[in-house]
Structure 1
Amino acid sequence: MGRDPGIHREGNEKAGDPVTAALELRDLRKSFGKTEIIRGCSLLVEQGERIAVIGPNGAGKSTLFNLISGRFAPTSGEVLLNGHRIDGKKPFEINRLGLSRSFQITNIFPKLSVFENLRCGVLWSLGYKYTFLKFLADLDDANERAEQLLEMIHLHKKRDVLAINLTYAEQRALEVGITIAGGANVILLDEPTAGMSRGETRRFIDLIKEVTVGKTLLTVEHDMGVVFGLADKIAVVVYGEIIAYDTPERVRANQRVQEAYLGTAPTQEAH
């Protein structure tokens, strides 16, 4: 698909003023052998926007996230973070440039406490890198930031509980805390509410809104209640292409999107 969905801008910027998107995809493509999974995706996400990425199973949504976060290198095309190309960089390099992501499967340190998980997440951003000359308990700034995160994700009462003993929803909240711990300004959440009850989902939406204030958010999500309750815009991926990128109201009324969800659009298994 061409770049039209990716270069749509709304706002009050003056003609001629440069606009640096938080994230931009330019004709992004990914093939596995002879099978093309991502087929020319272009997308432009402004600073502070919340974008939901939706589409049928096998549409290529997770592959797209893996390209953005550096798990996969694109076959062709470009990924720009805050105006700088990141395609081809390693995931840890991209993270240090200001992009962080969570995964469909919860990624935490199960044998560490909630507090210790969060403290691990803040160390690099505070400049501690690989040092064995300090006791973690003596790192006042890291401990203070971890305490702040505990409050933000509403797990302060579970501070010293091992992560493995949290409920599923609490583990997902902890993962979100770890994801934002390094101070990234672009956050990718991959199916954050999967497996939650309706009540847990409602509370989790509120949590995501709270912890991503001032940040740019992309989330892959199947629960349309979450999508319409959270997103400023929706990107619809079908068969490796972005077939629509607009406000929730306009996407809901888009005939091509309706056809895709009725099963008349082509589908293909994606990695």
Structure 2
Amino acid sequence: MSAAAALQLEGLRKSFGKTEIIRGVDLSIAKGERHAVIGPNGAGKSTLFNLITGRFPPTGGKVRLHGQDLAGLAPFQINRMGLSRSFQITNIFPKMSVFENVRCSLLWAKGYRYSFWNMVSKSRDLTQAADAILEQINLTERRELPAGVLSYAEQRALEIGITMAGGADVIMLDEPTAGMSHSETDYIVDLIRQVTENKTLIMVEHDMGVVFGLADRISVLVYGEIVATGRPEEVRANPKVQEAYLGAALEAEH
């Protein structure tokens, strides 16, 4: 794993009115690292994601992607710099086919821009690229189905495929296994491990089995502050983390 930072947060803060949600977060995530952010409900995890991806402007501090300051950039501009994300709530086009969902997500990366005279249905390279992603996410057999009829786990897999399609090298997944059965979770974890190979992964996740099985390092966010960052075994053994969050989270799974 390279020591170069793919993503760096410096004194990041966010307030809504007088309420401070993110309270001076410093974090460096190396290129190729799989990094999990955990913490209790209300800790600010989704807000942190929204700050990184440009949905919210920070009240203070900086976000750097491969050394470039993201201040003032819109989410689509950040995406085109190589950062892509999924959301807690599945975000797909339910009436379009599985194939069409993936093809749409490829358009900008394949150079189609705002060209209304191009017939995307006749583009061989676009079709081949979309089919390659469908194969990677194990949805080739569902290619022509409306995305809305897929199972929940398959819809999450499709969203991961859409997230990957733009060619981003930093992937952010917000609770990718929420609401899944054990078998569905195993399916999605295997998929995440496969599609993020040689990429930087940052995920928010409540399932500690997923976190400890996937993450190279873990950061624990409590009331808007990171109270610990380290390898899984270090975080598991940290008394401060056990007191603030981890003990209760692990007990809840048994």
Q: TM-score, normalised by structure 2?
A: 0.95
Query: Quick check: 1:20–1:83 contact (8 Å CA) kept in 2?
Result: no
Structure 1 residue aligned with 2:182, among 183, 191, 198?
198
Give the 3-state SS of the residue equivalent to 1:126 in structure 2.
coil
Q: 1:227 to 1:262 in 2, by over 3 A?
A: closer
Residue matched to 1:105:
89
Counterpart amino acid of residue 97 in structure 2: S
Aligned residues between the structures: 248
Superposition pairs for residues 1-271 of structure 1, below 5 Å? 20-261=4-245
Gaps in structure 2 of 5+ consecutive residues: 249-254
Q: TM-score, normalised by structure 1?
A: 0.89
Counterpart amino acid of residue 84 in structure 1: Q
Counterpart amino acid of residue 39 in structure 2: G
Query: Quick check: 2:102–2:130 contact (8 Å CA) kept in 1?
Result: yes
Q: Percent identity?
A: 64
Query: Quick check: 1:101–1:188 contact (8 Å CA) kept in 2?
Result: yes
Q: 1:262 to 1:253 in 2, by over 3 A?
A: closer
Moved over 2 A (4+): none
Distance across 1 between alignment mates of 2:105 and 2:192? 18
Gaps in structure 1 of 5+ consecutive residues: 1-10, 14-18, 265-271
CA RMSD between the two structures: 1.4
Distance across 1 between alignment mates of 2:71 and 2:158? 28
Give the 3-state SS of the residue equivalent to 1:78 in structure 2.
strand
Give the 3-state SS of the residue equivalent to 1:172 in structure 2.
helix
Deviation at 1:87, TM superposition (A): 2.8
Cα deviation 1:93-149 (Å, max 9, x = unaligned) = 000000000000000011110000000011101110111101111112111110000
Counterpart amino acid of residue 73 in structure 1: P
Q: 1:246 to 1:153 in 2, by over 3 A?
A: same
Give the 3-state SS of the residue equivalent to 2:135 in structure 1.
helix
Cα deviation 1:177-227 (Å, max 9, x = unaligned) = 000000000000000000110011011100000000110000000000000
Counterpart amino acid of residue 116 in structure 2: F
